[in-house]
Amino acid sequence: MKKLKALKVGVVGATGMVGKSFMETLEQRKFPVAELRPFASESSLGKMISLQGRSYACQVLKPGCFEGLDLVFFSSGDDISRDWAPQAVKAGAWAVDNSNAWRMESGISLVVPEVNGDLLKNQNQPQIIANPNCTTMQLVVALNPLQKKFGLEAVRVASYQAVSGAGQPGHDELMDQVRDFDKNPNPTPKAFAHPILFNAIPEIGSFNDLGYTSEEMKVMSETKKILRTPDLRVSAFTVRVPVLNSHAEAVWVTLKHETTREDVIAALQAGEGLVTEADPRKYPTQRQVSGQDPVYVGRIHQDISEPRTWMMWVVSDNIRKGAALNGIQIAEQIEAFWL
Amino acid sequence: MKKLKALKVGVVGATGMVGKSFMETLEQRKFPVAELRPFASESSLGKMISLQGRSYACQVLKPGCFEGLDLVFFSSGDDISRDWAPQAVKAGAWAVDNSNAWRMESGISLVVPEVNGDLLKNQNQPQIIANPNCTTMQLVVALNPLQKKFGLEAVRVASYQAVSGAGQPGHDELMDQVRDFDKNPNPTPKAFAHPILFNAIPEIGSFNDLGYTSEEMKVMSETKKILRTPDLRVSAFTVRVPVLNSHAEAVWVTLKHETTREDVIAALQAGEGLVTEADPRKYPTQRQVSGQDPVYVGRIHQDISEPRTWMMWVVSDNIRKGAALNGIQIAEQIEAFWL
Helical (H) or strand (E) element with A302:
strand A295-302
Is A211–B300 a contact, with Cβ atoms under 8 angstroms apart?
Answer: yes
Which residue is closest to B230 within chain A, CA to CA?
Answer: A305
pLDDT value of position A227: 98
The closest CB to that of B198, out of A201, A243, A313, belongs to A243
Partner residues linked to A252 by β-bridges: A156, A311
| pLDDT score at B124 | 79
Residue A122 is predicted with a pLDDT of: 78
Predicted confidence at residue B98, as pLDDT, reads: 96
First-to-last alpha carbon distance for chain B, in angstroms, is: 9
Instruction: Tell me the pLDDT tens digit for each residue of B106-119.
Output: 999 999 999 999 99
Residues in chain A: 339
In this structure, of A121-135, A215-229, A251-265, the range with the lowest mean pLDDT score is: A121-135
Q: Which residues of A touch B233 (CB under 8 A)?
A: 305-306
Of A210, A239, A301, the CB nearest to B211: A301
pLDDT tens digit string along B303-338?
999 999 999 999 999 999 999 999 999 999 998 899
β pairing state of B54-57 and B71-74? unpaired
Q: What is the 3-state secondary structure (H, E, C) of chain B?
A: CCCECCEEEEEECCCCHHHHHHHHHHHHCCCCEEEEEEECCHHHCCCEEEECCEEEECECCCCCCCCCCCEEEECCCHHHHHHHHHHHHHCCCEEEECCCCCCCCCCCEECCHHHHHHHHCCCCCCCEEECCCHHHHHHHHHHHHHHHHHCEEEEEEEEEECHHHHHHHHHHHHHHHHHCCCCCCCCCCCCCCCCCCCCCECCCCCECCCCCEHHHHHHHHHHHHHHCCCCCEEEEECCECCCCCCEEEEEEEEECCCCCHHHHHHHHHCCCCEEECCCCCCCCCHHHHCCCCCEEEEEEEECCCCCCEEEEEEEECCCHHHHHHHHHHHHHHCHHHEC
Task: State whether ipTM is beyond 0.85.
Answer: yes
pLDDT at A245: 98
Residue of chain B whose Cα is closest to the Cα of A287: B199
Residue A186 reports pLDDT greater than 80: yes
Is the pLDDT assigned to residue B123 strictly greater than 90? no
A257 noted as active-site residue: no
What pLDDT score does A124 carry?
A: 79
Residue type, B119: L
Contact call for A210 and B304, based on CB within 8 A: yes
pTM here?
A: 0.97
Contact B311, A202 (CB under 8 A): no
pLDDT digits over A285-331, tens only? 999 999 999 999 999 999 999 999 999 999 999 999 999 999 999 99
Q: Do A156 and B200 make contact, defined as CB atoms within 8 angstroms? A: no
Q: Distance (Å) from the C-alpha of residue A102 to the closest C-alpha of chain B?
A: 23
Q: Report whether A6 contacts A71 (CB < 8 A).
A: no
- Looking at every residue in chain A, the average pLDDT score rounds to 96
- For residues B287 and B245, give the distance between their C-alpha atoms in angstroms, rounded to a whole number: 7
Q: Nearest CA to CA, how far is B195 from chain A (Å)?
A: 8
- Using an 8 Å CB-CB cutoff, list chain B residues near A242: 198, 241-243
**Is beta strand B33-39 parallel, antiparallel or unpaired with respect to B48-51?**
unpaired
pLDDT at A146: 98
- Indicate if the pLDDT at residue B1 is higher than 80: no
Q: What is the mean pLDDT of residues A88-106?
A: 97
For an interface test with B, the pick among A159, A160, A178, A198 (most B C-beta atoms closer than 10 Å) comes out as A198
Rg (CA), chain A: 20
**CA atoms within a 13 Å half-sphere pointing along the CA-CB vector of A51:** 30
- Across the interface, do B235 and A311 touch by the CB < 8 Å criterion? yes
Which of A156, A181, A241 is opposite residue B160, by nearest beta carbon? A241
pLDDT confidence band for A24 (50 / 70 / 90): very high
Per residue in A224-264, pLDDT (tens digit) is 999 999 999 999 999 999 999 999 999 999 999 999 999 99
Examine the residue annotation and report whether A65 is marked as an active-site residue of this protein: no
Of the ranges A274-278, A334-338, B94-98, which one carries the lowest mean pLDDT score? A334-338
* SS3 of chain A: helix, strand, coil, percent, to 5: 35, 25, 40
Q: Which pLDDT belongs to residue B228?
A: 98
B187 Cβ contact partners less than 8 Å away, ≥ 6 residues apart: B176, B177, B180, B195, B197
Please give the Cα distance from B155 to B147 (Å, whole number).
11
Report phi then psi at B61, rounded to 5. -70, 135
- Residue A1 predicted with pLDDT over 80: no
> Model confidence over B67-98: pLDDT tens digits?
999 999 999 999 999 999 999 999 999 999 99
Interchain proximity B202–A300, CB inside 8 Å:
no
CB contact under 8 A, A207 and B281: yes
pLDDT at B120 over 80: yes
pLDDT of residue B2: 82
Q: How far B73 CA lies from chain A's nearest CA (Å)? A: 29
How far are the Cα atoms of A38, A83, A125, A286 from residue A63, in angstroms, in the given order? 15, 11, 21, 41
H-helix or E-strand spanning residue A222: helix A214-227
One-letter amino acid for residue A33 of the chain: V
